[in-house]
Structure 1
Amino acid sequence: MSSATEGPTPGFLVWRLSMKWRAAVDRAVGPLGLTHAQYSLLASLYGMQRSGRRPSQRRLADHTGLEPLYVSKLARALEAAGLVERLPDPSDTRAVQLSLTDQGRDVTRRAIDVVQQLLDRLLEPLGGLEGPRAEVFSRELAVLLDTPLDIPAKE
């Protein structure tokens, strides 16, 4: 039997879920003047700052999985909006450190609350965020995210 008649592939389902999530977050944080990508950057920066780190744009790119050039573009737009400060890294003249402004912290906290409500709704069919199915789902997603997808070079 052809796999085409058996239903969507896992890859298609991952893609569809990521598109559904992105669109939902865009709609949810739009009233705060943010996009999904900006939210991802701000929420990651918020978490890193809460743990005492002041990351460079490069570290934030590595953390979020976004391209460094895109993080730079987002950071400039967020700086222009008064949400982020970009400062030279004292230990590396080529690097730029990022930190949230007071306004940035306020907007980010409100955005996190809104996105948390979305996450609760998404995971409700799995028993909620604290449910055993959601915990297994999260572990499985982490395994997939840790799996390298680079195609090995042919000799």
Structure 2
Amino acid sequence: MSNLSEGATPGFLVWRLSTKWRVAVDRAVAPLGLTHAQYSLLGSLYGMQRSGLRPSQRRLADHTGLEALYVSKLARALESAGLLERTRDPADPRAVQLALTERGLETTRKAIDVVQGLLRQLLAPLGGPDSPRAQEFTRELTALLDAPLDPFGTTDDPAPLK
């Protein structure tokens, strides 16, 4: 355990790990002309498209956890870069659907390879991405992501922290 981690709260460690990951991904995808947020959008869109979906900006925002307005801004920039196309949803004229262009597919595949390499590095201390420890870590992260957070304390919390 590093000196930085001694006595640190789980919240601090989550923040540090997320910051470390974001910075590493930003640096890794920069040669492809992407930021971490753009990669997150493109990577998620890539996965959804492979599943046969052509998601709306709103659905992609829900999937990524990004604000809908931010997804709209990112999508416009990625469209200008020729990486995705935005079209009106025929079923809902208020909604905008997103799809990767051929250039977007190529760039996203390259970015995914780079980020997968980073993930292998990150998970190496746990035995690698397919190790039991990494699988348990993934389950624990999922449990934390599924836990509701209410910054205003308006939900009933059976055991408040002291």
Superposition TM-score tier, normalisation by shorter sequence: over 0.9
Report deviation, 1:153.
2.4
Normalised to the residue count of structure 1, the TM-score between the two structures is 0.94
The residue number in structure 2 matching 1:112 is 112
Match of 1:3 in 2: none
SS at match of 2:66: coil
Is 1:86 aligned to residue 80 of structure 2? no
Q: Quote the offset at 1:38 in angstroms.
A: 0.0
Indicate the SS of the match to 1:130: coil
**Structure 1: gaps of 5 or more residues:** 1-5
Which amino acid in the other structure matches residue 32 of structure 1? L
For 1:1-155, what aligned pairs fall within 5 Å after superposition?
7-150=7-150, 151-153=152-154
Identical-pair percentage: 75
Deviation at 1:152, TM superposition (A): 4.2
Distance in 2 (CA, whole Å) between partners of 1:41 and 1:68 is 11
TM, length-normalised to structure 2:
0.90
Distance 2:67 2:154 in 1: 22
Q: Supply the distance in 1 between the matched residues of 2:88 and 2:148 (Cα, whole angstroms).
A: 32
Give per-residue Cα distances to partners, 1:128-149, cap 9 Å, x unaligned: 0000000000000000000110
Tell me how many residue pairs correspond in the alignment: 150
C-alpha distance in structure 1 between counterparts of 2:153 and 2:7, whole Å: 29
Aligned amino acid, residue 17 of structure 1: L
User: For the residues of structure 2 that align with 1:118 and 1:15, how far apart are their CA atoms?
Assistant: 18
Aligned AA for 1:35? Answer: T
- Residue 121 of structure 2 aligns to which amino acid in structure 1? R
